[in-house]
């Protein structure tokens, strides 16, 4: 049940979608009647379909933080939406008009526990950036902290945003629950998508988590001389305030001058994050990189980090190498190892589809293989054939789809395959080194010791139980409760059938006996028996025809 505040917000959200022409979608899931809104006039098909993707983007932008993030998340899921929607949602702008400084000042001073003048020598009240969650200001600290010299950037969460996001998450959680009971839930994991959105939003609202992500990313990029992450002022890191090194430069979205060394380091840096570290920054958009006059590329956005398991790291490396070798069968096998198959999955059809996709690129030069596009198409094929790929692999596909064109624009002659092959050897060496580490060997020895102790003991217990005729075997039947309900239903119907037949036979015998009151020349008890038998018979037939228990 939604709280009154959440219900009021939900009605506003639904009214916004109706105003942008998505009344039919809400009605198809019975969401309008759920919140007490009546459908308006039906639109003509051409009118409904005109620029629907653009209207969806505008509606999400109008609804604010939570729905902007939802749209951005959906833009990473080509397996859920048509390409036109994915492309349009990729244009979602998280830049909004700034709020007044007075409200931001209150949040800043409350989080720091001191007036602005005590912490900052100078603080520009005009923000240099304003997004739906936070605003960024330029300032200068009063004293030297954390190795940060000169100006700093101060990121402050807007007042009221965490509370509104909490309401929106309650609404989306309830909507996901309702959608999970629809027919589409067999193919789409609505609750999993909502859980991913909730994790993303809560992480972005907690700027301490963003500070942790920045430190982790800086450690990962330490070996690359052309890449850097701004330093964080740890002493001033709060849940709603983040102070970091101020960096000047031009965004890559504004200029694409050739920078071959930066392109090579950027590609290798992401391969390292994905295949070695197991944690990667999910949004390598040109607007999230700043190129300064010295030729250093600064990563600006580290709010969203995805994690990938060691097993999937090896599978992903194998998948990329299978694409290089145009080995469709191996690519399909590795996809199945990473995903989960559903009821409609047919393995020969899936393998044939993946092989056909990979075969399209036979003859294409290795350096020209579009890995991002191929990964996107494989994800689409997986969904179409009822294979659920883990969310982090979907994010990885979107990451490669953005990263590869960016690197190729920085260096048109880049050869990503050559770099990837060299990284495959490094990956295997790193995996072997981890497996042979002292910690892993110690854990293995402890497991072997436990195994060596437990096996003889378990064997003695088993032999003793068999000798004393005390051995019991338990069988667990999948969906046993459903089976019990089905058996009970069959037994009930048989019982009703037997009772009905007995009533008919008994009433027939009563017709030949002259006993009891008579109506229209027939014994009353015989007539009652026939009527009851007829009622039971009609009930049983109705239950069978409607398929009810």
Which residue reads 């007829």 in tokens? 534
H or E stretch at 298:
strand 297-299
- 124 labelled catalytic: no
Assess contact for 211 and 237: CB atoms under 8 A.
Answer: yes
144: which 2 tokens? 């030297």
Q: Are strands 151-157 and 387-388 parallel, antiparallel or unpaired?
A: unpaired
Paired residues of 244 in beta bridges: 153, 232
Question: Rounded CA gap, 112 and 137, in Å?
Answer: 15
Contacts of 305 (CB under 8 A, 6+ apart): 213, 216, 217, 279, 280, 281, 282
Identify the three-state secondary structure at position 305.
strand
Question: How buried is 183 (Cβ within 10 angstroms: 0-12 exposed, 13-18 middle, 19+ buried)?
Answer: exposed
Length reported for the chain = 549
Q: Which of 283, 301, 329, 514 is catalytic?
A: 283
Assess contact for 51 and 355: CB atoms under 8 A.
Answer: no
Question: Rounded CA gap, 535 and 489, in Å?
Answer: 19
Question: How buried is 278 (Cβ within 10 angstroms: 0-12 exposed, 13-18 middle, 19+ buried)?
Answer: middle
454: which 2 tokens? 């437990």
H or E stretch at 484:
helix 480-511
Question: Where on the phi/psi map is residue 404: left (φ > 0), alpha (ψ -120 to 50), or beta?
Answer: alpha
Question: Rounded CA gap, 73 and 94, in Å?
Answer: 13
Instruction: Calculate the CA dihedral of residues 16, 22, 26, 28 and round it to 10 degrees.
Output: 170
Assess contact for 252 and 291: CB atoms under 8 A.
Answer: yes
What count of other Cβ atoms lies within 10 Å of the Cβ of residue 305? 19
Question: Rounded CA gap, 181 and 146, in Å?
Answer: 52
Question: Rounded CA gap, 430 and 452, in Å?
Answer: 30
Question: Rounded CA gap, 503 and 511, in Å?
Answer: 12
16: which 2 tokens? 């916004």
Assess contact for 75 and 92: CB atoms under 8 A.
Answer: yes
H or E stretch at 341:
strand 340-341
Q: Are strands 151-157 and 134-141 parallel, antiparallel or unpaired?
A: antiparallel
Identify the three-state secondary structure at position 187.
coil
Question: How buried is 513 (Cβ within 10 angstroms: 0-12 exposed, 13-18 middle, 19+ buried)?
Answer: exposed
Question: Rounded CA gap, 394 and 342, in Å?
Answer: 18
Catalytic residues: 283
């Amino acid at each position: 049940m939604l709280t009154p505040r959440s219900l009021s917000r939900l009605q506003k959200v639904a009214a916004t979608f109706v105003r942008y022409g998505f009344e039919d979608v809400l009605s198809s899931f019975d969401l309008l009647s759920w919140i007490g809104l009546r459908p308006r006039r039906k639109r003509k098909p051409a009118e409904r379909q005109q620029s629907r993707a653009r209207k969806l983007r505008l509606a999400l932008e109008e609804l604010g933080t939570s729905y902007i993030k939802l749209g951005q998340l959906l833009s990473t899921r080509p397996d859920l939406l048509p390409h036109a929607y994915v492309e349009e949602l990729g244009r979602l702008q998280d830049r909004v008009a700034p709020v007044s400084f007075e409200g931001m000042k209150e949040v800043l001073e409350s989080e720091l526990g001191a007036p602005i003048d005590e912490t900052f020598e100078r603080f520009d009240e005009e923000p240099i950036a304003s997004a739906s969650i936070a605003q960024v200001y330029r300032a200068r600290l009063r004293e030297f902290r954390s190795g940060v010299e000169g100006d700093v950037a101060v990121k402050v969460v807007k007042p009221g945003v965490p509370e509104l996001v909490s309401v929106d998450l309650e609404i989306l959680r309830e909507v996901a629950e309702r959608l999970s009971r629809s027919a589409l839930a067999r193919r789409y994991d609505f609750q999993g998508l909502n859980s991913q959105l909730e994790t993303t939003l809560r992480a972005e609202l907690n700027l301490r988590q963003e500070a942790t992500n920045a430190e982790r990313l800086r450690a990962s990029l330490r070996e690359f001389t052309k890449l850097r992450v701004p330093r964080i002022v740890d002493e001033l890191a709060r849940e709603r305030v983040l102070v970091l090194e101020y960096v000047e430069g031009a965004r890559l979205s504004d200029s694409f001058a050739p920078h071959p060394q930066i392109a090579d380091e950027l590609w290798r840096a992401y391969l390292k994050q994905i295949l070695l570290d197991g944690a990667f920054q999910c949004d390598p958009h040109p607007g999230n990189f700043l190129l300064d006059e010295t030729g250093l590329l600064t990563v600006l956005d580290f709010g969203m980090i995805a994690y990938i398991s060691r097993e999937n790291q090896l599978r992903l490396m194998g998948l990329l190498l299978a694409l290089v070798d145009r080995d469709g069968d191996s690519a399909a096998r590795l996809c199945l190892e990473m995903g989960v198959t559903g009821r409609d999955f047919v393995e020969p059809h899936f393998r044939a589809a993946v092989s056909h996709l990979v075969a399209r690129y036979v003859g294409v030069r290795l350096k020209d293989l579009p890995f991002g596009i191929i990964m996107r198409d494989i994800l689409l094929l997986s969904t179409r054939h009822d294979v659920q790929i883990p969310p982090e692999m979907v994010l990885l596909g979107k990451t490669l789809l953005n990263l590869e064109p960016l690197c190729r624009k920085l260096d048109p002659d880049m050869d990503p395959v050559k770099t990837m092959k060299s990284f495959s050897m490094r990956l295997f060496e790193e995996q072997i080194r981890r497996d042979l580490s002292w910690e892993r060997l110690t854990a293995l020895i402890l497991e072997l010791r436990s195994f060596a102790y437990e096996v003889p003991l378990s064997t003695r217990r088993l032999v003793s139980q068999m000798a004393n005729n005390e051995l019991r075997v338990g069988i667990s039947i999948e969906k046993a409760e459903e089976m019990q309900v089905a058996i009970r239903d069959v037994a009930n119907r048989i019982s009703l059938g037997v009772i009905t037949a007995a009533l008919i036979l008994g009433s027939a015998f009563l017709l030949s006996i002259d006993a009891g009151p008579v109506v229209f020349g027939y014994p009353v008890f015989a007539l009652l028996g026939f009527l009851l038998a007829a009622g039971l018979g009609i009930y049983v037939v109705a239950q069978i025809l409607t398929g009810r228990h």
